[in-house]
Structure 1
């Protein structure tokens, strides 16, 4: 068996090269229901039982940001801290220390040569963002449950969290379905459950014309794939954006009201901006008090991951993302579709927040500005072996693991600290 040596700082990681066929990134973006966790179960099954792990004692004080610090506005700065006080930048985990990384986001395994993208940290404008504390997170969330609802980026987010937590405990797969798009993992030592629900539009959707790529979106109907499942969860992280770019027919109250790029005579083109806005409105209405989901926990809206990092062409016309450094804050700004989607998501969050009258717990996880600055953090061509004779589009949508996406969970921990009682206050 061949070996590939991947060097990170002063340590060398040896990675086996199994002869596995890699599913094209484009299938994750165009198939009606891609199996984005297809390699998930065997990896988890081979990990140590959680009963063999012991949680570290809860720290007296958990590092947290001041209340007046906006953790979503700031800049990326060089990371010279390995998190253990020894100096020298290093990621929280590698592709050998975490076994639940999706193949297409396993950039280290597939030979990405420029590892500088791992050596940056997010610094908010008025404070320092503490490094992720896996022990503190699991102690904080003990006895609770967290669901991710959305497309493959929701899965990307969930796998980042599991990799970060792997320093303390690995979960047990307790899924009640063989469908790899819906997984439920349980951290036995902390009685913590984490789940992902595949729902790229958040509302009911059917592909009416697979050959032409046309979708039917029922914009006033929450997707049954997650609607019944989230009842009883303590937290639900909702996210979606990328799938709304597909040609779609829009239905409300069972009636065709418009479309996006359907080119059907007599059907008004309301555009994808309309469909995303109404879908978010429907999902948030279902998650607020008295909504259709029967959910009485905290809903967290994560804003979109940028769609604009393709350069040199569109995603299916040679576009790629080969930058090796983050943008500085003054080098780019949110515009075009990213700006329109972000505006709609924030406005619908504010609308739901106002409509709830303070009864429902809604939190905004506004990650877009930080991720807009990281065109260097995507897999690009490194979601497969370079010598493989496969046809793949460069992936500038998902995020390498480890990579910039890990900051989402640094932010999530801080959000939970501000919305939890008791022992974690300073």
Structure 2
């Protein structure tokens, strides 16, 4: 059987073979259209699968690091690790020199401020003077750890206490302990992260101590796993220690300076199995990702940071940071009964100046920067942008499953506060410590108290 088609007066013959070919082309076009339609939906999962290594056959031979070089990247301060100078791996592009990446999350940070402004970015603003000073003192609060007790160890100035954060478009209300406790009546709050997360929790305890003291109902004496209860309000605050967010092992149980093993695709069940019933979870991590580590996926070594081995690919700290956050968000989104809100507290940079942490670096400034005085760059910007990218994917996946995420974007806010660290006022001058100057943790009282201004406002917006 033959079909005739008239084209410009000339008959053309279409055979069954020609028709079959045309049908196949049409089928392929339909399949391609469907593929392009569903690709954006499943992109995060596809990306995870494609990047997941299947063997150790892709090892590269890196530059050789001597023991002396490695020693520079073992900053310790009473067991709390501080960041070393960033060293780029051979798998990452150099970070941009200009501060970018904040614009892409402005929309997720905006919302009604309760005072007429329907669109207010809390994180664009300045530190302005607050003559009345701090909410509490180191003598009125019981929760301050020694290495954050700057007044006890002789810090002479007090001006660093006399600032508050002022958004450009609205007001950020000061923390009100009475209203906060009423707002969280019958609820629970968990902090997940490292010693800076604990620093944040202790700031909250100090602010609340103006009106109420909690009972320690912890199952452990370990400060890294504590639970405090405010019985009059049926409110609890807990801390879960997880500086890497993922499953971790020490290569030497007795020596914390030796590299840690990071299983970047495995949940850290010390927190993932405990947060399902919390109303609020504040998760953060950062500074530990600058210390020596060995990276695993599927229980195979896929790289390391500051390790002496020559048969393992040396990668940058942002490599493990990205994978860890990806796994952390996957863990949260896998919780079937979680009905709370997860706030990501963004990466907060350190403020060493005049040298590295072990080469005389210090933070001796006594007042904040203006927002146009300082541009965040290098590894700080790289870590921040990496975190925001993974947050965007995690938040989108969580939204589909009914899990709420919020961003507590402290990066730019605290980048402007080089004056709020303990520096040398975290110990007595004659005391022997591994870290002479602490430019990572924050004095209590101090600028970190503003984090709870943000927390209360975010929680209030969420309730509205």
With normalisation by structure 2, the TM-score equals 0.74
- Alpha-carbon spacing, 1:63–1:351, altered in 2? closer, same or farther (3 Å): closer
Work out which of the residue numbers 61, 73, 77 in structure 1 matches 2:128: 77
- For the 8 Å contact 1:280–1:345, the answer to whether it is kept is yes
Q: Does 1:160 align with 2:206?
A: no
Q: Residue in 1 aligned with 2:288?
A: 243
Q: Give the structure 1 partner of residue 244 of structure 2.
A: 201
2:382 equivalent among 340, 350, 353: 340
Tell me, what secondary structure is at the counterpart of 1:301?
A: strand
User: RMSD of the TM alignment (CA)?
Assistant: 2.0
| Number of corresponding residues | 357
Distance 1:293 1:219 in 2: 22
Q: Distance in 1 between matches of 2:442 and 2:175?
A: 18
Structural mapping, 1:270-419, within 5 Å: 270-288=315-333, 291=334, 295-307=338-350, 309-358=351-400, 359-388=402-431, 392-419=435-462
Q: Distance in 2 between matches of 1:64 and 1:167?
A: 27
Rounded to whole Å, the distance in 2 between the matches of 1:64 and 1:158 is 28
State the shift of 1:97 in Å.
1.1
* Partner Cα distance (2:336, 2:429) in 1: 45
Distance 1:166 1:287 in 2: 31
- Give 3-state SS (helix, strand or coil) of 2:77's partner: helix
Q: Which has the higher contact order (CA 8 A, sep 6+)?
A: 2
**Structure 1 residue 253, shift from structure 2 partner:** 1.3
1:10 alignment counterpart: none
Paired residues of 1:72 and 1:370 also in contact (CA < 8 A): yes
For 2:122 and 2:461, locate their aligned partners in 1 and report how far apart those are by CA, in whole Å: 12
CA contact (8 A) 1:261 1:271 kept: no
**Compared CA separation, residues 30 and 91, structure 1 to 2 (3 A):** closer
Give the Cα separation in 1 of the matches to 2:314 and 2:248. Answer: 18
1:407: how far off?
0.8
Q: For residues 209-224 of structure 1, what are the structure 2 equivalents within 5 Å?
A: 209=252, 210=255, 213-224=258-269
CA drift at 1:271: 1.4
The alpha-carbon deviation at position 69 of structure 1 amounts to: 1.2
- Cα distance in 1 for partners of 2:237, 2:115 equals 23
SS in 2 for 1:339: helix
Give, in whole Å, the separation in 2 of the partners of 1:416 and 1:156.
20
**Distance change in 2, residues 1:292/1:258 (3 Å):** farther
Contact 1:64 1:129 in 2 (8 A): no
Cα-to-partner distance string for 1:150-184 (whole Å, 9 max, x where unaligned): 00000000000011111111100000123232000
Query: Retained in 2: the 8 A contact 1:207–1:213?
Result: yes
8 Å contact kept, 1:65–1:127: no
- Name which of structure 1's ranges 135-144 and 65-74 shifts more when overlaid on structure 2: 65-74
Preserved contact between residue 81 and residue 287 of structure 2 (Cα < 8 Å): no
Structure 2 residue ranges without an equivalent (≥5): 1-74, 83-112
Cα deviation digits, residues 309-364 of structure 1 (max 9, x gap): 10111112211100001011111111111101110111111101122244110111
Partner residue of 1:180? 223
Q: Which has the larger radius of gyration?
A: 2
Unaligned runs of 5+ in 1: 1-23, 32-61, 81-88, 422-426
SS at match of 1:221: strand
Q: In 1, Cα distance between the equivalents of 2:409 and 2:256? A: 36
Aligned to 1:132: 175
Task: Tell me how far 1:384 sits from its aligned partner.
Answer: 1.5
| 1:120 paired to 2:171 | no
Q: Deviations over 1:179-228 (max 9, x none)?
A: 23200000111110000011100011112154762111000112122121
Residues 65 and 130, structure 1, Cα contact 8 Å, conserved in 2: no
